Amino acid sequence: MGNNQTWIAEFILLGFQVDPEREVFLFGFFLVFYSVTLLGNGVILGLICLDSRLHTPMYFFLSNLAIVDMSYASTTVPKMLANLVTHKKTITFGPCIFQTFLYLAFAVTECMCLVVMSYDRYVAICHPLQYTVIMSWRVCVVLAAMSWLFSFLWALVHITLLLRLPFCGPQKINYFFCQITSVFRLACADTRLNELVLFVGSVFVLVGPLCLVLVSYTCILFAVLRIQSGEGRRKAFSTCSSHLCVVGIFFGCAIVMYVAPKSRHFQEQRKILSLFYSLFNPMLNPLIYSLRNAEVKGALRRFLGKRRSLGGMVGNILGV
């Protein structure tokens, strides 16, 4: 970096660029969704921890997904909410880069978690007799740890390449958070290497895992079709349907966002997709798993039953 170039101290997040009245409405709207995201994933995580019947590999990975979703949403949404009710919509350089790093890391972690969950379903349905041996707790912990480690290292590579760029203006980011390609545009240097590495990396962590998921579910489909009883087929499909819904939503939006060709309104479309990723997708995951999963609903009923029983006992003791 030349001596005539200076680092920008802070960036301006343009966000959604709507009227102040609409900003207040969006603040309330997004706050409700963010609260539901934290509550829903928190309930899923709590049920898995408290109910011994959910202490299985499938729900161990689901608990990891719940942690990722809460972290993912909390990386971008609080700052977005703050900017909707304040006039100074700025973020300093350090927090901006850190936000970019966390967003990339949690996005890839979610992708890896979905791949590992599809492998778990493949083993459970295609190799049920060897399931407890193949998916031992040691294997589950190693798979989860590798997913987190790989994701954070992958994000670190992009942040390292980003920090080598000089930023000397302009300061405005046409986004509601420090999205990496929007930050690229503020650099006063050639960013083609950064964009190439990001594209190749996105293909690697999206298309590759998606292919693994498709292979897993193709094997699952053939295994289910060989099941003679209709009840057996129904049970096998029910254990996979929730995961398939989440996979379809996640990978569909990701491929459109990072791999699909750009259109005239690409920037605004990317804002909406990023909002979906940051807010709606983490909120939908616990709803999908709770509404379509009998074991989660059963755990919730047992928990509420215990709470009512405990309340009745306390009432009897107090003479209420």
- Is residue 309 situated within a structural domain? no
pLDDT at residue 314, rounded to an integer: 41
pLDDT at 67: 94
Q: Which residue has the tokens 């609260």?
A: 35
Would you say residue 171 lies in a domain?
A: yes
Collapsed DSSP state (helix, strand, coil) of residue 63: helix
- Alpha helices, H only, the chain: 20-50, 57-84, 93-126, 131-134, 137-163, 180-184, 192-225, 230-258, 266-275, 281-292, 294-318
Residue 312, domain member (yes or no): no
Domain count along the chain:
1
Give the CB-side neighbour count of residue 233, counting CA atoms within 13 A: 9
* The two three-digit tokens of residue 301, written as one number: 């009923």
- Distance in angstroms (rounded) separating the CA atoms of residues 107 and 186: 23
Residues in the chain: 320
- Res 150: pLDDT: 94
Let me know if residue 103 belongs to a domain: yes
**In a domain? residue 146:** yes
Are 172 and 217 in contact by the 8 Å Cβ rule? The answer is no
Domain encompassing residue 255? 10-300
Task: Please tell me the predicted confidence (pLDDT) of residue 232.
Answer: 67
Q: Give the closest residue to 124 by CA, choosing from 44, 238, 230.
A: 238
The answer to whether residue 307 sits within a structural domain is no
Structural domain includes residue 306: no
| pLDDT for position 205 | 85
The confidence score (pLDDT) of residue 316 equals 47
pLDDT at 173: 84
Q: What is the pLDDT of residue 146?
A: 95
Tokens of 314: 């306390």
Over residues 48-98, the pLDDT tens digits come to 888 888 888 988 998 999 999 999 899 999 998 988 888 888 888 889 999
Task: Say if residues 211 and 113 touch (Cβ distance below 8 Å).
Answer: no
Retrieve residue 241's tokens.
Answer: 């349907």
Would you tell me the crossing angle of helices 281-292 and 230-258 to the nearest 10 degrees?
A: 180
Closest CA to 161 of 187, 143, 140, 127: 187
In a domain, 150, yes or no: yes
**CATH code for position 222:** 1.20.1070.10
Task: State the pTM of this model.
Answer: 0.84
SS3 of 280, please? helix
Stretches where the chain sits below pLDDT 70 are 1-7, 169, 232, 236, 238-239, 257-269, 290-293, 306-320
In this structure, are residues 250 and 113 in contact, taking their beta carbons and an 8 Å threshold? no
